[in-house]
């Protein structure tokens, strides 16, 4: 039942700021006015949330705060002008890419547009890669439902797409012996949401499972269905398989306008021309509310929630066996699951993340104080880890709504608009299930417009790039005999061969940036962070793509590596496989 918006307004004016005003906007509540700080914006939004309205549209401004506009590609052409498609997907993160792959099962035309030069440039490459078990989200929420289903689907999906997936489990540690109290509550909750494989551990059992954690641990809960994978490799795999099955991708393409005729979208304007889709899927991440506003359909607001994490040297990787955390005792309250130590699929330990509100949707800077807080909170879990083991750190932005839940639905007012929005943690864990649901909604919509048939040539299998460092001597020799470039080690820290880099550059989704190569096959991800291998990477990219050295970027427009053309990128020739020691 809706609470009168004037009553909510009075509470906000009393508790936050007198210059905030409320009104109804469709099924949502609209907040307007001007306040003195971003914290006041967030506080007002939270007061208005969960009061019986569909969502909170928060348009409160902060006096003197200049929020940058969305970063747009400089390219303007007619590449997509007058293009007609059955489905237009906006956003090339893991959600948009997973949806593209699911929809490629049908004989329909699909176009995915992404404003960046590559996939997974934002949230999908800036998270911890954890596939949560699904115990944390509120019971009955979309987060809970899609998390549990998505976790289950990953076993099959990762096998089909050639993505490494380790169902390592997560161990939640307690310094006080509360297992007797927690056990019945956890089991009731697990039964309600469908989470299986939960074990309650004594101090001795914890020591056997994770021998390097603190001595004063009294017990733990182990969630066996927790897994880890590479979030960006998962995104690329989804997209590459979608491309193999006929989905088109357009990069450096930003949506600038949406035109409606009555209660349907008729066309979508971009910097590369006007597209005419039958159905539009909004998977635009932190800009999903802006896309909704373009369609005159905004019923929610994304407030960017930032988190910062650390990556440790691989030499620490054997100090834990999975995911280890010592969080707050509350499982369903708060805006973060608390973070911890995560043994990534590549073998590094990832530390964090934290969570805090801020107004910027693409600010990936890191803050010394926040990094220190992450270190002080989590490194103590394993005393053998020190600050000196940190090799880099990064930040990411969560696409949070004030309702703190996913938006997976057909628009209430725009008949051919579908939302996959408000996707924050556990978004990665939920991606396969979200894509499954969006496929159903899309097909039901399209059936009213055209006849749709199964794609009889649909192939769910994608072969991943061989990882030479993980192969036996016999397997290596076999590959190198066929492809000698697999015997030429380019990145010594991560033992990445030239052949792996070449195959990444030749994948179904074009990749032209250093970071794009790094995320796909990991050159530059080791201890020296590309200090040795970057010149060699530039040479390989130049040879494979035909780009000049001064046209190659780190991560897209505005990040050129070299300003002017040079005669020779490097002088020392990298050693071949027989000259470089490779650990078996």
- pLDDT score, position 533: 94
Q: 583: pLDDT confidence band, cut at 50, 70 and 90? A: very low
Residue 400 has φ and ψ, to the nearest 5°, of -85, 140
Q: Are 170 and 213 in contact (CB under 8 A)?
A: no
In order of 229, 389, 392, 511, the CA distances from 516 in angstroms are 17, 25, 18, 6
Query: Which structure tokens are listed for 537?
Result: 């990477």
- Domain assignments of the chain as residue spans, ordered by start: 5-62, 468-579
Dump pLDDT digits (tens) for 107-133: 999 999 999 999 999 999 999 999 999
Taking all residues of the chain, what is their mean pLDDT, rounded to a whole number? Answer: 94
- pLDDT score, position 327: 73
3-state secondary structure of 446: helix
As a whole number, mean pLDDT of residues 362-378 equals 96
Closest to 423 in 3D by CA, of 234, 286, 279? 286
Dump pLDDT digits (tens) for 431-476: 999 999 999 999 999 999 999 999 999 999 999 999 999 999 999 9
Query: Which structure tokens are listed for 226?
Result: 């927790």
Is the Cα dihedral 467, 469, 475, 479 positive or negative?
A: positive
Q: From the candidates 132, 222, 303, 378, which is the catalytic residue?
A: 132
Active site annotation includes 132:
yes
Other beta carbons within 10 Å of 543: 11
Dump pLDDT digits (tens) for 8-59: 999 999 999 999 999 999 999 999 999 999 999 999 999 999 999 999 999 9
Residue with tokens 């905030």: 20
Residue 581 confidence (pLDDT) above 90? no
Q: Are 405 and 146 in contact (CB under 8 A)?
A: no
Rounded Cα distance, 490 and 470, in Å: 16
Q: Are 359 and 306 in contact (CB under 8 A)?
A: no
As a whole number, mean pLDDT of residues 419-425 equals 98
Q: Hey, what CATH topology would domain 5-62 get? A: 3.30.1340
Q: 555: pLDDT confidence band, cut at 50, 70 and 90? A: very high
Pair type for strands 273-282 and 264-270: antiparallel
Rounded Cα distance, 221 and 386, in Å: 26
Q: Are 84 and 222 in contact (CB under 8 A)?
A: no
Residue 66, H or E segment: none
Rounded Cα distance, 464 and 507, in Å: 10
Residue 544, H or E segment: helix 534-545
Rounded Cα distance, 468 and 465, in Å: 9
Higher-pLDDT residue of 185, 565 = 185
Residue 222 confidence (pLDDT) above 80? yes
Q: Are 274 and 268 in contact (CB under 8 A)?
A: yes
- Contacting residues for 570 by C-beta, under 8 A, at least 6 apart: 535, 536, 539
> Which segments of 151-234 are extended strands (E)?
165-166, 170-174, 198-202, 219-223, 227-229
- pLDDT score, position 10: 97
Other beta carbons within 10 Å of 472: 9
């Amino acid at each position: 039942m809706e609470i009168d918006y004037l009553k909510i307004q009075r509470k906000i004016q009393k508790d936050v700021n007198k210059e905030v005003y409320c009104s109804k906007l469709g099924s949502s509540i609209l907040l307007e006015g001007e306040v003195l700080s971003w914290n006041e914006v967030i506080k007002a939004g939270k007061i208005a949330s969960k009061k019986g309205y569909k969502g909170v549209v928060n348009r409160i401004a902060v006096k003197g705060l200049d929020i940058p506009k969305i970063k747009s590609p400089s390219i303007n052409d007619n590449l997509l002008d007058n293009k007609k498609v059955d489905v237009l997907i906006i956003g090339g993160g893991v959600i948009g890419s997973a949806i593209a792959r699911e929809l490629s099962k049908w004989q329909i035309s699909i176009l995915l547009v992404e404003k960046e030069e590559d996939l997974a440039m934002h949230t999908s490459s800036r998270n911890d890669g954890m596939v949560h078990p699904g115990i944390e989200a509120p019971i009955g929420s979309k987060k809970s439902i899609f998390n549990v289903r998505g976790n289950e689907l990953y076993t099959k999906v990762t096998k089909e797409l050639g993505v490494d997936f380790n169902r390592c489990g997560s161990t939640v540690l307690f310094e006080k012996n509360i297992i007797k109290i927690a056990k019945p509550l956890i089991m009731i909750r697990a039964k309600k949401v469908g989470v299986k494989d939960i074990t309650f551990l004594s101090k001795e059992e914890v020591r056997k499972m994770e021998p390097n954690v603190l001595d004063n641990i009294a017990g733990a809960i182990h969630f066996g269905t927790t897994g880890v994978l590479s979030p960006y490799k998962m995104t690329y795999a989804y997209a590459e398989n979608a491309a193999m099955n006929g989905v088109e991708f357009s990069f450096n393409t930003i949506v600038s306008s949406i035109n409606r005729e009555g209660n349907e979208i008729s066309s979508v304007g971009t910097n590369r021309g006007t597209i005419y889709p039958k159905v539009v899927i909004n998977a635009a991440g932190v800009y999903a509310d802006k896309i909704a506003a373009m369609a005159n359909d905004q019923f929610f607001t994304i407030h960017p929630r930032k988190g910062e994490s650390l990556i440790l040297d691989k030499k620490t990787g054997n100090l834990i066996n999975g995911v280890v955390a010592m969080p707050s005792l509350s499982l369903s309250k708060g805006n973060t699951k608390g973070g911890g130590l995560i043994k990534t699929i590549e073998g590094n330990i990832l530390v964090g993340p934290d969570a805090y509100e801020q107004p910027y949707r693409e600010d990936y800077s890191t803050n010394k104080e926040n990094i220190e807080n992450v270190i002080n909170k989590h490194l103590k879990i394993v005393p053998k880890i020190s600050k000196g083991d940190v090799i880099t750190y990064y930040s990411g932005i969560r696409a949070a709504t004030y309702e703190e839940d996913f938006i997976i639905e057909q628009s209430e007012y725009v008949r051919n608009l579908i939302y996959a929005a408000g996707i924050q943690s556990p978004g990665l864990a939920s991606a396969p299930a979200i894509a499954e649901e969006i496929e159903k909604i899309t097909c039901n919509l399209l059936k009213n417009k055209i006849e749709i048939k199964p794609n009889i040539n649909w192939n769910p299998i994608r072969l991943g790039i061989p990882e030479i460092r993980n192969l036996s001597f016999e397997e290596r020799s076999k590959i190198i005999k066929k492809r000698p470039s697999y015997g030429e080690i380019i990145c010594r820290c991560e033992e990445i061969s030239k052949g792996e880099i070449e195959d990444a550059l030749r994948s179904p989704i074009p990749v032209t940036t250093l970071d794009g190569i790094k995320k796909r096959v990991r050159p530059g991800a080791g201890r020296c962070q590309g200090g040795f291998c970057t010149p060699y990477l530039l040479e390989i990219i130049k040879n494979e793509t035909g780009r000049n050295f001064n046209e190659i970027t780190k991560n897209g427009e505005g990040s050129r590596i070299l300003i002017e053309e040079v005669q020779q990128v490097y002088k020392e020739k990298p050693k071949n496989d027989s000259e470089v020691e490779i650990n078996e």
